[in-house]
Amino acid sequence: MKKGILTLAVLASFSSMAVIAEEAKTDGPDMADPTAVYAYAGLAYGNKGLDFEAMGVLTKTDTQRSGFIFEAKDILDEDKYTEPKTGREVSSRNYRLRYGNINTTNGLGGFVDVVAAEHPFFGNMVVAQAGPVATIPVGDDIYIWPMLLVGGVVAEDNTSQLLDMKIAGAIAAGAPAEAIAALEAQRAMSNLSSEGMDWMTTTGTVMTYVRYQPHDDFFALGSIRYTKALAGKEWDTDIADGGLQMASTAWDLKLGYYLTSTQTVTLFYSGDNTSADDKYSLGYKYAF
């Protein structure tokens, strides 16, 4: 109930801002461009909690720009849950740091993406990837930004928990006593918990942003990505089978409206090919 009331309050405040804002909207930064570099801060709230996002500018010349973006998702940890397979409470709060540089003449650049989150089985996890990005105009209203990223995953390696799950599954399935005894012997030889962060897998990701802006005041920005393990644990294979059980395909859509030349409000939706609930939120961003 409290979450619903807060959502309505945020919606009402953004609606009021939209009514009173009437200044020119074409003199500020391109806030619909995912590679644009400018200083800003923003908040969003939805069914997965409260998010914060901000960008800082590092380089700004006539031909080259670079900057970093910091994001904190579900700051209040409202979407935390208990993982049924392990019985442990999993925080939904996560952090993301991105660095990018772009050549404003040809639209080519580089991109580094680092996400720190809690994996429902392994515990603390960091996913880091990097690669090139290009800018491709398609007519006057549509732009495409393809990216090819390579990186990897480090996480706590709680192997003993996986063996507990396998033993419970073997007992439930009526496996022979010898097979169960072998699994129990493996568990006895393994550490009870992780002694640090281990390299889990090497990853490759293909990602594309697409923007459609038929009017100066409105824009739609969508993205889709596909991630695959290149070596190590399989990215989307079930945990019980030795994988990371992550979404191999994810997509999102952001509908934005310029309140002023330096302020936007957005409706955001994202989903993936797992059974997890889709995310939606209402956001506000201010460019300095």
Q: Please give the helix or strand (H or E) that residue 14 lies within, else none.
A: helix 2-20
Q: Which residue has the tokens 């930004």?
A: 145
Within 8 A by CB and 6+ apart from 84, the residues are none
pLDDT band at 271 (very low <50, low <70, confident <90, very high): very high
Model confidence, pTM: 0.79
Residue 218 has pLDDT above 80, yes or no: yes
Q: Are 251 and 279 in contact (CB under 8 A)?
A: no
pLDDT per residue as tens digits for the range 77-103: 988 887 766 667 888 999 999 999 999
Name the residue type at position 37: V
Q: What is the DSSP letter of 169?
A: H
Strands 218-232 and 197-215: antiparallel
Q: How wide is the angle at C-alpha 209 spanned by C-alphas 106 and 253, nearest 5°?
A: 150
Q: Nearest 5°: CA angle at 190, between 186 and 195?
A: 160
Cα gap 203→148, rounded to integer Å: 11
